[in-house]
Structure 1
Amino acid sequence: MKIAGATLNQTPLDWKGNSENIIHALEEARKEQIDLICFPELSICGYGCEDMFLSNWLWKKCFDILIEKILPNTKNIACAVGLPVKHEDNLYNCVAFIQNGELLHIIPKQNLANDGVHYEPRWFTPWKYSQQSNIHWKGKDYLMGDYIIEFANYKIGFEICEDAWRVDRPACRFMEKEVNLILNPSASHFAIGKSIIRQELVISSSKQYKCTYIYANLLGNEAGRMIYDGEVMIAKEGTLILKNQLLSFHDFQICCWDTNDETKEAELYEARSNEEFQHAVALALFDYLRKSKSNGFVLSLSGGADSSTCAILVAEMVRLGLKELGLARFLEKIHKKEWLNEITKNQQPEQFITHKLLTTAYQSTKNSGHNTYESARKLAKEIGAVFYHWGIDDEVETYTKKIEQSLNRQLSWERDDIALQNIQARARSPIIWMLANINNALLITTSNRSEGDVGYTTMDGDTSGSIAPIAAIDKFFIIQWLKWAENTLNYKSLGYVNKLQPSAELRPKGENQTDETDLMPYQLLLSIEKLAIEEKLSPVEVYEKLKEITPHEERNLKEAIIKFFKLWARNQWKRERLAPSFHLDTFNVDPKTWCRFPILSSGFQEELSILEKWN
């Protein structure tokens, strides 16, 4: 037999595109004479349909597509396809098992994901263990429930994504039923380093339950925020047999094992954070661009670390996409086939496409430095991006004078520091938005997670944008990633930004403003953030953990923790308004996906008072 797992790059509610991906994968599977193939979770409608799952038509549409489009394309093959199914007024997250054009079983998920970025119980009901029933649809009954499926030499059991992560998992009951093949259709979001954890789960499961285990995950930026790495693994009784390339730009991948072949052990995956970040954001930008049908990106390129990272990631989107898809298919997928005729023999496709897709502007004030200008200009030139430079002092002065006339006093840095800083950032926003609108392009905002923690960002200024690619990653990571990109990816212009101290460049030049002076060292901010936000410790608990491992004086450490918690509580309203961002780490501060916090609160007043007195 030949058995396989398949990944799919789907889009919520894209009935035509999603079904075509499944059908094309089935066509390829039949050419390879595959007997059984497992597709990802909720692959007909897409995992990220959100509250559309609460409608009464969506699941019916999925069922019609299953019967009318998928089934006719399953002659001489068996497959598992994910879809929602309503039964007795409850909606279930299910997998349809099809063999040779016939829908044999509908297997519902027993354990729902309800942590971090997942809210499945909002839409679905968990199926009860051992419960079996049937569903009547358009004159025909179909078996629905906790079934073991007999297929050739296999007894098949299902664990649908979260099912496999619970202590009391379905597999615990499979051995007594002599299950020797477990299929796991999943929609497991990307996070740096997460693939190794999944790999360990698949291998250990196949060993513990003495079976062959097939894992198949979704692929790409499906619905805007979540990235899926498209991981497919097959393991047998403790040996990893097959594993595919992650984060592919293709519409689907098939990972097939001929069970008649001698078992060959696949190379185990080792997480490399910098490469994972590079490939994940590049793919996410590619999918966001093509699925939103935008013409490209516009970026206010300050010459600093954050905007430089965003520019490099767009260039990497082009480079990696061309490498995997080829020029013609890449252009077709971003709806720009006509560019193929514009590229001459003397032009490099990467530079040509980046020039078409990425427009940058350095928007200077009298407080901007020549070094950041050179950093921005040289980077844009190296990657091929359009580069503009204009000053905004006139706009800043116009806004300032209007307020001064209204208040009947001059503004000063001693009295009006924050307002004078913010107006520069805000003055940049309307003109860069105008350019994005003219280009029908996505405006990239460059906020990172460290800034989101403490609100070190100007609302309607440097937060303005359509998409925030790095809002879920910390500044400490970004700084080291840029050095890696300079040396490993060979972006020589990054030598300029890597020599600079991160700075907003909003105060007068003589003050030598730096981000870490305004806030605290980024490594310390990261340490506090992980304990306070990811582990949800109190201020005193954070202090107790950090005082043993950080080199900071006790007073300075306390001050940093107090500052963090005060700024965190005060700036929730800013996080509520950030542009959509990609989930990249084990946690993020986006209240729409991972971290909900009240806009109004006491601001940890009592807890911080205790910390101030704590010995």
Structure 2
Amino acid sequence: MGRKVTVAVTTLNQWALDFEGNLNRILQSIQEAKELGALYRTGPELEICGYSCEDHFYEPDTYLHSWQVLAELLKSPTCKDMLIDVGMPVQHRNVLYNCRVAFLNKKILLIRPKMLLCEDGNYRESRWFSGWTKERQTEEYYLPRMITAITEQTTVPIGDAVIATKDTCIGFEICEELWNPQSRHIPLSLDGVEIISNGSGSYMELRKAYVTVDLVKSATFKSGGAYLFSNLRGCDGQRIYFNGCSCVAVNGDIVSRGQQFALHDVEVITATIDLEDIRSYRTKIRSRSHLAASNPPFPRITVDFALSDDEDVHLTISPPIEWQYLTPEEEIELGPACWLWDYLRRSGQGGFFLPLSGGVDSTSTACIVFSMCTQICDAIQKGESQVLYDVRKILCQSDYTPSDPMELCNRLLVTCYMATENSSQETKQRASQLASQIGSYHFPILIDAAVSAVIGIFTAATGFIPKFRANGGCPRQNLALQNIQARLRMVLSYLFAQLMLWVRGRPGGLLVLGSSNVDEALRGYMTKYDCSSADVNPIGGISKTDLKAFLQYAKNRFFLPSLSEILQAPPTAELEPLTDGQITQTDEQDMGMTYAELSEFGRLRKTQNCGPYSMFQKLVHSWSDKCTPHEVAEKVKHFFRCYAINRHKMTVLTPSYHAETYSPDDNRFDHRPFLYRVHWNWQFKAIDDAVAQMTKDKRGSSDRQVDSNQLSASTTNVNSHFMRGDRKGVLI
């Protein structure tokens, strides 16, 4: 009797609606799994059509083409003698389901619909799909005729069931079912299911890779078994980046894992599992055995197939491994670079154009492109033929092979320093030095003539000449003159992006890169339709603090000494006149808050769902060592005023790589209004009343001696006043 089985989990870089490409990548993964000795292969969520089809899931074409791809898989000799499950959408009785379809030797065994849908963050699954609610039940699914012609089956079971082979039992979870408090792997394992596969579409956020790993390990720690987690990789046509990390866990230990970020489209990892280890582990947990004895059974789909071999003594069991997590700086180096690569090779463009100011943000963007070039060169050296093919296609040069990242960067990245009379020589020099160290095709330009022309048009029409504040102008004039410079940089960026490859004797155009960070978007510290407006923005979901840490890391990682000077310089927009040739304008002074404070405001607003009053209540304690209650109140009110005034800018925010939980991206992640009442009268009055109460309580405690009971009574928390409607507390 066999006891050892080899299973394969797959990481695929699929693309929404790319049915031909998706099919080829699935077939490649099956072939690789077979060559590695696996008899069971599982893959990521909705791998046939791509996860991010979104409203295309309403279109009958999406389901037709998905079935056509499945038909090709069923017919393919590559799939012979291997148990396979794939992810695809299925319509059953006029209801749309997100499903796994398991098949073997031209026979569909089971269609298993997703039972628990994901609605968090960037997920909106119930907009298109419904969850299967009939626990431990199956129904008959009538197959399309094109499938019946191949399988000779008219109907197949659809529902909450498991597959019983001659030697083991396989069950399914789909993505969110692992995260849910009532995960399906618990009742499955209690019913004797020994292998549980999960096809997932889980995207990355900074510092979050451990979450999935911990969940996968714990899924088998309490009740034993093998857990197969297959995840997507790539941008799939969206702001998010699916970050791989496919893995296999056995009895609470990770025994095999894939990469978090990589440029190759197909990655297959295998694990060899001893089924007797699972059975022994489970029987030793006596409380589990007692509970399992009364567990309601799942419908079993019996199949005359074995994953093990009677002569498997030569197979070596996969031992536990230690998961090495990337640092946030490494995640910034690799993730956005891979996202840019996907975007570039699928957009049909010839490279990137970046306005390089010599500041932290544009420098970070340039370094991420250089990281992309480094990864491309590394992949080509390792024999990744698809990467080399894509590079040659982008550059329209069929015999080209990059010699080093700098040489490739010169072909793929054009950088431009756009100076005005308000720009300093220091930032110009820093931009030039960085460009020479990463190899970008760089040039400086002066845009004063364009600025003067626009001002001249205004003056000719009105007879008025706007002035900077430093020259006696009012705040409105000062702001308008800054915005002219910023918006003209956007216009010129697109002009150069469209024509620079023509200048360099190459076909095609360039994608314009934005370089506004998540904190500036949150605060609205940007000009609408300025050079923050671009085609894509690789740092739009990353905080200023993390970008500085990334540059400190990149300085040594890529040997870029110019980054030291860039990190030491205070962030500035350089849109106001210089004083004796020196910068007087700084970002934090303009914003009225530090970048560190902005990050805290952002996390409280988004991840902890704080309005003005709740935010004040939290910060008045956490900032008590550096601010009085009155100062905290003023900072909170200033943030919410700025947030309300500038929220409309999020409606035109450049599509950005999603990396931060407090991203204010209006289009997908942050569904809040874009038009607010700026004064927040009710909320700010609540804060003012709370400050007054705290000041009164503090003054009273210093004027008299009280025992602990009296002190407790005299300093009743403002929240209790709020809850009972006490007029001495806050308005209700």
Measured after TM superposition, the shift of residue 302 of structure 1 is: 0.6
Deviation at 1:68, TM superposition (A): 2.6
Match of 1:105 in 2: 110
Shift of 1:69: 3.3
Q: Return the letter of the residue paired with 1:186.
A: S
2:51 is paired with a residue whose SS is coil
2:122 to 107, 117, 122: 117
| 1:473-492 equivalence runs, <5 A | 473-492=542-561
1:331 aligns with 2:388: yes
User: CA shift at 1:480, angstroms?
Assistant: 2.1
- Counterpart among 9, 12, 16 of residue 12 in structure 1: 16
Match in the other structure for 2:702: none
Q: Which residue of 2 aligns with 1:524?
A: 597
3-state SS of 2:684 partner: helix
Describe the superposition over 1:334-379 as per-residue Cα deviations: whole angstroms up to 9, x where unpaired.
3247546456xxx843122111100010000011011110111011
The number of residues matched between the two structures is 612
Hey, what's the Cα distance between the residues in 1 that align with 2:576 and 2:60?
56
CA contact (8 A) 1:378 1:493 kept: yes
The equivalent of 1:261 in structure 2 is: 316
Task: Report the secondary structure of 2:609's partner residue.
Answer: coil
Q: CA deviation at 1:271?
A: 4.0
Per the alignment, residue 666 of structure 2 pairs with 591
3-state SS in 1 of match to 2:332: helix
**Structure 1 position 437 matched with structure 2 position 498:** yes
Residue 188 of structure 2 is aligned to residue 171 of structure 1: no
Structure with the greater alpha carbon radius of gyration:
2
| Greater mean alpha carbon deviation, residues 524-533 or residues 405-414 | 405-414
Q: 1:571 aligns with which of 646, 650, 670?
A: 646
Aligned 8 A contact 1:71 1:98 in 2: no
Deviations 1:49-101 (A, max 9, x none): 01000112211210121023355231011111000000011100000111233
Shift of 1:454: 1.4
453, 463, 468: which one aligns with 1:408? 463
20-29 or 533-542: bigger deviation: 533-542
1:60: which partner in 2? 64
Task: Give deviations 1:392-415, integer Å, cap 9, x for gaps.
Answer: 111111111221232222212231
Give per-residue Cα distances to partners, 1:6-45, cap 9 Å, x unaligned: 1100000001100000011111122222110110000000
Asked if the contact 1:19/1:70 (under 8 Å) is kept, the reply is: no
Q: Which residue of 2 aligns with 1:299?
A: 354
Equivalent residue of 2:536, what SS?
Answer: coil
Structure 1 unaligned segments of length 5 or more: list them.
none
> What amino acid sits opposite 1:601 in the alignment?
Y
Task: Determine the structure 2 residue equivalent to 1:514.
Answer: 586
Q: Is the 8 A contact 2:356 2:431 kept in 1?
A: yes
Q: Distance in 1 between matches of 2:74 and 2:396?
A: 33
Per the alignment, residue 84 of structure 2 pairs with: 79
- Report SS of the residue matched to 1:509: coil
Structure 2 vs 1, CA of residues 245 and 564 (structure 1 numbering), >3 Å: closer, same or farther?
same
Match of 2:632 among 538, 554, 557: 557
Letter in 1 for 2:658: H
CA contact 1:436–1:443 (8 Å) conserved in 2:
yes
Query: Which residue is 2:141 aligned to?
Result: 135
Q: Report the Cα offset of residue 549 of structure 1.
A: 2.5
Distance 2:207 2:664 in 1: 19
CA distance in 2, matches of 1:587, 1:101: 47
TM-score when scaled to structure 2?
0.81
**Where does residue 313 of structure 1 map in the other structure?**
368
Q: 1:186 aligned to 189, 200, 206, which one? A: 200
Match in the other structure for 1:399: 454
Name the CA distance, whole Å, in 1 between partners of 2:187 and 2:413: 54
Aligned residues of 2:256 and 2:318 also touching (Cα < 8 A)? no
For residues 342 and 7 of structure 1, what CA distance do their matches in structure 2 show? 29
Residue 329 of structure 1 deviates from its aligned partner by 4.3
Q: Would you say the 8 A contact 1:161–1:185 is kept in 2? A: yes
Alpha carbons of structure 1 residues 271 and 357: separation in structure 2 relative to 1, 3 Å: closer
Alpha-carbon shift at residue 313 of structure 1 (Å): 0.3
Once the 2 structures are TM-superposed, how far is the Cα of residue 388 of structure 1 from its aligned partner?
1.2
- CA separation in 2, counterparts of 1:175 and 1:455? 50
2:419 aligned with 1:364: yes
Give the corresponding residue for 1:199: 213
Q: Does 1:217 align with 2:274?
A: no
Query: CA separation of 1:70/1:372 partners in 2, compared to 1, >3 Å: closer, same or farther?
Result: farther
Counterpart Cα distance in 1 of 2:448 and 2:395: 41
Distance in structure 2 (CA, Å) of the matches to 1:465 and 1:70:
44
In structure 1, what is the Cα distance between the partners aligned to 2:326 and 2:371?
Answer: 19
**Structure 1 residue 569: Cα displacement:** 1.7
Query: Contact 1:361/1:390 (CA < 8 Å) preserved in 2?
Result: yes
- Contact 2:605 2:615 (C-alpha < 8 Å) held by counterparts: yes
For 1:601, the equivalent position in structure 2 comes to: 676
Aligned to 1:502: 571
> Does structure 1 conserve the Cα–Cα contact (< 8 Å) formed by 2:410 and 2:439?
yes
- State how far apart, in whole Å, the 2-side matches of 1:273 and 1:581 are: 18
State the partner residue of 2:266: 252
Per-residue CA deviation, residues 413-471 of structure 1 (Å, 9 max, x unaligned), is: 23111101111111112111011122411100111111111111111212221001111
Indicate conservation of the 8 Å contact 2:198/2:227, yes or no.
yes
Work out the CA distance in 2 between the residues paired with 1:461 and 1:51: 31
What is the letter of the counterpart of residue 106 of structure 1?
I
CA-atom RMSD in angstroms:
1.7
What SS does structure 2 have at the residue aligned with 1:600? coil
In the alignment, what sits opposite 1:546?
619
Match of 2:407 in 1: 352
Distance change (3 Å), C-alpha of 1:71 and 1:535:
farther
Q: How far apart, CA to CA, are the structure 1 residues paired with 2:532 and 2:394?
A: 29
Letter in 2 for 1:611: I
Match of 1:580 in 2: 655
Letter of the 1:380 partner, please give it.
A
The structural deviation recorded for 1:509 is: 1.2
User: What residue number does 2:252 align with?
Assistant: 238
Alignment partners' CA distance in 1, 2:40 and 2:417: 55
Distance 1:276 1:85, change over 3 A: same
Indicate how the Cα distance of structure 1 residues 212 and 342 shifts in structure 2: closer, same or farther if over 3 A, else same: closer
After superposition, the C-alpha distances for 1:152-189 in whole angstroms (9 at most, x for unaligned) are 42211111000111111212321332111110110001
Q: Distance in 1 between matches of 2:105 and 2:352?
A: 46
> Quick one: structure 1 residues 465 and 337, their matched pair in 2 at CA, closer, same or farther if it must change by over 3 Å?
closer
Residue equivalent to 1:92: 97
What's the TM-score once normalised by structure 1's chain length?
0.96
- 8 Å Cα contact 1:297/1:443 also seen in 2: yes
Instruction: After superposition, give the CA deviation of every residue in 1:562-597 in whole Å (9 maximum; x if it has no partner).
Output: 121111122222111011111112342112221111
Matched, 1:421 2:482: yes
- Indicate the SS of the match to 2:613: helix
Using the aligned pairs only, state the percent identity: 29
Does the residue aligned with 2:132 lie in a helix, a strand or coil? coil
Q: Is the CA contact 1:224–1:288 (under 8 Å) kept in the aligned structure 2?
A: no
Q: Which residue of 2 aligns with 1:374?
A: 429
Say which SS state the counterpart of residue 122 (structure 2) adopts.
coil
1:37 to 30, 36, 41: 41
CA–CA separation in structure 1 for the residues paired with 2:602 and 2:177: 30
Name the aligned partner's letter for residue 416 of structure 2: A
Q: Once the 2 structures are TM-superposed, how far is the Cα of residue 263 of structure 1 from its aligned partner?
A: 4.2
SS at match of 1:593: coil
- SS state of the match for residue 113, structure 1? coil
Query: Do the aligned partners of residues 3 and 152 (structure 1) sit closer, same or farther apart at CA in structure 2, a change above 3 Å counting?
Result: farther
Q: Provide the rounded CA distance (Å) in 2 between the counterparts of 1:169 and 1:467.
A: 37
